[in-house]
């Protein structure tokens, strides 16, 4: 079963919208002024520094828990008209663009792309799917407030979380394993 088969049609337009937001944000991050890139790189180093002393299993667990909590927050916060899911996607795209540009200037574009591979293949798609469900929930809340939707919010949340554990969570497990291996290797 491929990823397209695993996604239901309720979130396909939201994935498209959020993918475009991510792409534009990523590009904006790659062309950001050097002062902003330096600040972002410094912030990333501080965050990454908290993981340096962790052993493999604890490192994996911490990365997984952080990503699970972030994606669940993105889904649940979507009921606030979808603002937070869109912001999460744009800030992740911008940050990843900045880090890609910084890494490319140090080690070249191909090595920078390789370093971002775990994020691009597993973590970013997981975040896009979670944010899409969050955005979808926000739209459902607005439709419900306007009287155009009768499905209870609880049913929509249940649907989003069933799909979360079927699709997003497995992607996050693989992403955490790859990220752990990459951190330990570097």
What are 9's two structure tokens? Answer: 């049609």
Per 3-state DSSP, the chain is made up of helix, strand and coil in percentages (nearest 5) of 85, 0, 15
170 part of a folded domain: yes
pLDDT of residue 44: 79
pLDDT of residue 74: 95
Domain count along the chain = 1
Alpha carbons 102 and 121: distance in angstroms, whole number: 20
pTM listed for this prediction: 0.87
Which value, to the nearest 10 degrees, does the dihedral of the CA atoms of residues 70, 72, 77, 78 take? 110
- Give me the percent of the chain exceeding a pLDDT of 90: 51
Range of the domain at 117: 11-185
Asked whether the predicted pLDDT for residue 4 surpasses 70, the reply is: no
Asked whether the predicted pLDDT for residue 36 surpasses 50, the reply is: yes
111 part of a folded domain: yes
pLDDT of residue 37: 83
5 part of a folded domain: no
Residue pLDDT, tens place only, 108-118: 998 888 878 77
Residue pLDDT, tens place only, 163-174: 999 999 999 999
How many C-beta atoms lie closer than 10 Å to residue 121's C-beta? 14
3 part of a folded domain: no
């Amino acid at each position: 079963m491929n990823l397209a088969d695993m996604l239901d049609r309720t979130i396909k337009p939201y994935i498209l919208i959020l993918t475009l937001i991510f792409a534009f944000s990523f590009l904006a991050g790659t062309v950001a002024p050097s002062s902003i890139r330096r600040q972002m790189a410094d912030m990333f180093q501080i965050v990454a520094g908290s993981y340096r002393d962790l052993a493999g299993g604890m490192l994996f667990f911490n990365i997984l828990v952080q990503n699970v909590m972030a994606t669940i927050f993105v889904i649940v916060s979507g009921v606030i008209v979808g603002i937070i899911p869109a912001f999460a996607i744009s800030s992740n795209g911008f940050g990843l663009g900045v880090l890609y540009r910084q890494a490319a200037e140090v080690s070249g574009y191909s090595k920078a792309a390789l370093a971002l591979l775990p994020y691009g293949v597993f973590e970013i798609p997981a975040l896009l799917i979670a944010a899409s469900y969050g955005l979808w929930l926000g739209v459902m809340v607005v439709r419900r407030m306007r009287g155009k939707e009768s499905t209870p919010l609880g049913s929509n949340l249940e649907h989003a979380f069933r799909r979360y554990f079927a699709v997003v969570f497995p992607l996050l497990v693989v992403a955490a394993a790859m990220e752990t291996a990459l951190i330990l290797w570097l």
